[in-house]
Amino acid sequence: MNRISGIAASNGIAIAKAFRLENPELTIDKKNVADTQAEIQRFGQAVNESIAELEVIKKRTAEEISDKEAAIFGAHLLVLEDPELIGPITDKINNDSVNAEFALHETSTMFVDMFEAMDNEYMKERAADVRDVTKRVLAHLLGVKIQNPSMITDEVVVIAEDLTPSDTVQLNPKYIKGFITDIGGRTSHSAILARTLEIPAVVGAKSAMSSIDNGTIVIIDGLEGEILLNPDDATLAEYKEKQTAFASQKAEWAKLKNEATLTKDGVAVELGANIGTPKDLTGVLENGGEAIGLYRTEFLYMGRDEFPTEEEQFDAYSAVLKGMENKPTVVRTLDIGGDKELSYLKLPKELNPFLGLRAIRLCLEMPDMFRTQLRALLRASVHGNLKIMFPMIATLDEFREAKAILLEEKAKLEAEGVEVSDSIEVGIMVEIPSTAVMADTFAKEVDFFSIGTNDLIQYTMAADRMNESVSYLYQPYNPAILRLVKTVIDASHKEGKWTGMCGEMAGDEIAIPILLGLGLDEFSMSASSILKARSQLSRLSKADMEGHTEHILGLATSQEVEDYVKNL
Amino acid sequence: MVEKSFTITDPAGMHARPASALVGSLSKFQSDITMEFKDKKVNLKSILGVMSLGVPSGSTVQIAADGADEAEAMETIERVLQEQGISNE
């Protein structure tokens, strides 16, 4: 039995066969062929097999995921039918008496180079499409199998070097019991996705791809970040027991689904969920979420070729607001840039994307895009309890400008006779230290704060949260962070406003008692953490925790805070 | 031969989705169909050809169909461009 350690990314125990999501190297040798007609036929056969395969993938993607995602494969099918690609390849086989692999490679390389040479990010992406399609045909010619996550129909644990957004859209939780990636951290997209899908995951496992064979029985302990390979019977039994215990604990928590969140001393706090798409609503409702503390709208913009239209956005926002049946729903306006790119946005590469043109900065730079989103939000506002939140606010001027644009769009809609809610709260994410420090000033103008801890920690510690070499600086319990959080909460309360938290920290077992003592009003987390948090809060007394606050804030290190809270 | 100019009004230009719809609707026609932009002419039945033009929003393209079913082909082109919301002419 072997053991690999990684970063615990999503809770629970998964036991299943390993499925390696490979990226095979396809080598192409130039060969002379005597029978060119037979070679052309072999090529045609590989194309047809690829078409048949893509048809299945497209159909399955449309059924299991969405038509929009399936459209990617529609474009790939057209490439395989493209006379400007197929014609030159058969000509080349015929005229130069070369093998199909070589002719395909030469011709497709021409297109890849052409797209890559274009001075346009979107077109450069098309080079990837051509490569993708070429690879599929090559694989058929060479008899190598290419995997598509959407084709997995066995219960497996996926092992991959990394999962790209396009891989992840094809993951069906019905079959994927968990996943392990070589790279990534707790806040990488694949980790967030795992928590949303509620499947156990270990990321940053480094040697998973090099040491796990297909079909190996794998145990993922998503709580401890442990991976066990080929477990002996005793270990298997032990983990099956843990799996059962986890399931029964979940069942225990499930009883709290319709209960209010009350501390032991009877103080009510609000437990919200972070979501990415209207699909995630199910999880929020099943886990008894009292609010949506963060709706990440950027997923509407990602994995596609063009901006979502106002109508598309209106539909998505309305669906969420209606689904929440008047419970508070905080929608964050587009937060793109940093580690999240949009190919069609054609933004120049930045040296420090996390410090660059992202989130509200980008929206203010591209007001048309921003206004479209705001209009869609305002129109949807009559369907529920909408709160609008601007991300990455660094200065009061940015907030004022964003709010002015919002009010302009509201006035325009009303002039057009469109009904807009009159009780939309407008708040900001606090994720930049400058804003946390100036919270007293902001509190006079905003309706609420939501503390985004992942970025607040990153910017306060000056440590890139995607960089594993400095991951030790991701310290939610560092007194520096806690003092900033206190500043924000106190400032909001002084002005009669409320503060929520929508980072990873809000659902963290160690952080929850501290945040309760600091007076946090709303905790927003992965839907799957809500019931556990409700259970924990019911055993905590707010008055007690307030009594510990001063001591905690006076501690010197993150470790001291952690040790103190654990021993309470 | 029939020829017509179209102005691409989609803010993202002639991107993959409408290009796919357009190219996909033309394979059944026998006529030669071309799209010309900035002195470069490509086969409109070729998705790679159309994408390679990189037509940005606001620009005008010339489309020509030549063959037995040219009129019908042009009607299809106009309909698809409109349905895709990429050109309203």
Domains of chain A: 2-22+148-232 (3.50.30.10), 36-142 (1.10.274.10), 257-566 (3.20.20.60)
| Chain B residues within 8 A of A305 when measuring between CB atoms | 12, 15-17
Q: Is A189 a catalytic residue?
A: yes
Cβ of A74 within 8 Å of Cβ of B24? The answer is yes
- ipTM of the prediction: 0.90
Q: Which amino acid is at A217?
A: I
pLDDT tens digit sequence for A497-517 = 999 999 779 999 999 999 999
Answer whether residue B19 is part of any domain: yes
Q: Which residue of B has its CA nearest to A307?
A: B12
Answer whether residue B70 is part of any domain: yes
Q: Which residue of A has its CA nearest to B23?
A: A78
Point out the catalytic residue in the list A105, A363, A383, A502.
A502
Question: Which of A78, A114, A118 faces B20 most closely, judged by CB atoms?
Answer: A78
Answer whether residue B64 is part of any domain: yes
Q: Does B6 lie at the interface with A, CB-CB under 8 angstroms?
A: no
CA dihedral B74, B77, B82, B85 (to 10 degrees): -150
Answer whether residue B62 is part of any domain: yes
Answer whether residue B58 is part of any domain: yes
Specify the pLDDT at position A66. 67
Domain containing residue B50: 2-83
Question: How far apart (Å, rounded) are the C-alpha atoms in residues A411 and A401?
Answer: 15
Q: Does B20 lie at the interface with A, CB-CB under 8 angstroms?
A: yes
Cβ of A84 within 8 Å of Cβ of B10? The answer is no
Specify the pLDDT at position A194. 80
Residue A351 is encoded by which pair of tokens? 């040296």
Would you give the distance in Å from CA A457 to the centre of its chain? 18
Cβ of A84 within 8 Å of Cβ of B27? The answer is no
Contact A177, A154 (CB under 8 A): no
Check which CATH number belongs to the domain holding B64 and give it: 3.30.1340.10
Q: Which residue of A has its CA nearest to B56?
A: A120
Question: Which of A115, A307, A368 faces B12 most closely, judged by CB atoms?
Answer: A307
Q: Encode A34-84 in three state secondary structure.
A: CCHHHHHHHHHHHHHHHHHHHHHHHHHHHHHCCHHHHHHHHHHHHHHCCHH
- Spell out the per-residue pLDDT of chain B, length 89, in tens: 999 999 988 777 788 778 888 999 998 999 999 999 998 999 999 999 998 888 888 889 999 999 999 999 999 999 999 888 777 65
Answer whether residue B88 is part of any domain: no
Answer whether residue B89 is part of any domain: no
Count of the separate structural domains present in chain B = 1
Question: How far apart (Å, rounded) are the C-alpha atoms in residues A330 and A332?
Answer: 6
Q: Does B59 lie at the interface with A, CB-CB under 8 angstroms?
A: no
Q: Is B70 a catalytic residue?
A: no
Q: What are phi and psi of B17, to 5 degrees?
A: -65, -55
Specify the pLDDT at position A173. 79
Task: Report residues of chain A scoring pLDDT below 70.
Answer: 64-66, 68-69, 120-122, 124-125, 164-170, 187-189, 193, 338-339
Q: Encode A493-542 in three state secondary structure.
A: HHCCCEEEECCHHHHCCCHHHHHHHHCCCEEEECHHHHHHHHHHHHCCCH
Cβ of A115 within 8 Å of Cβ of B51? The answer is yes
CB pairs under 8 A between A and B: 60
SS3 content of chain B, % helix, strand, coil (to 5): 35, 25, 40
Q: Does B40 lie at the interface with A, CB-CB under 8 angstroms?
A: no
Angle among Cα A503, A425, A345 to the nearest 5 degrees reads: 60
Question: Which of B15, B27, B48 faces A85 most closely, judged by CB atoms?
Answer: B48
Q: Which residue of A has its CA nearest to B86?
A: A306
Question: Which of B27, B45, B47 faces A79 most closely, judged by CB atoms?
Answer: B47
Specify the pLDDT at position A65. 62
